[in-house]
Amino acid sequence: MQNKNYLSSQGAIDLTKLTRLYPAVVVDMHGERAEMSLEWAELYGDKVTLCAYVLVFDFTPPKEEKKERIVLEFATKEALMNEMQEVAKFFHA
């Protein structure tokens, strides 16, 4: 992949070193915040408080313990999906 910088609300994100990109939700489970998959939220979301939708840009090399990530937060699933469509354009260009 050539030098591709995605301009997000948190600034430019260099997609050339991206190892994983995934959507998720942040939930409050009895005072603890946890990141869960969208599928999990659809199945069990009524049992927890949904805090935000997130798009995670993970740059952590395989087998590394120290996480290198940028997380973008969204108030709605629709906003998350719109952002994912914008990011997808960089991979199909």
Task: Give the structural domain span for 12.
Answer: 5-91
What domain count does the chain have? 1
DSSP string, 24-84: EEEEEETTEEEEE-HHHHHHHGGGSEEEEEEEEEE-PPTT-SS--EEEEEESSHHHHHHHH
pLDDT at 70 over 90: yes
Residue 1: band (very low, low, confident or very high) from pLDDT cuts 50, 70, 90? very low
The pLDDT of residue 9 is: 81
Does residue 1 sit in helix, strand or coil? coil
Output the average pLDDT for the chain: 90
- Cα–Cα dist 67/69, whole Å: 6
pLDDT at 68 over 70: yes
Burial of 55 (0-12, 13-18, 19+ CB in 10 A): buried
Contact call for residues 87 and 6 (beta carbons, < 8 A): yes
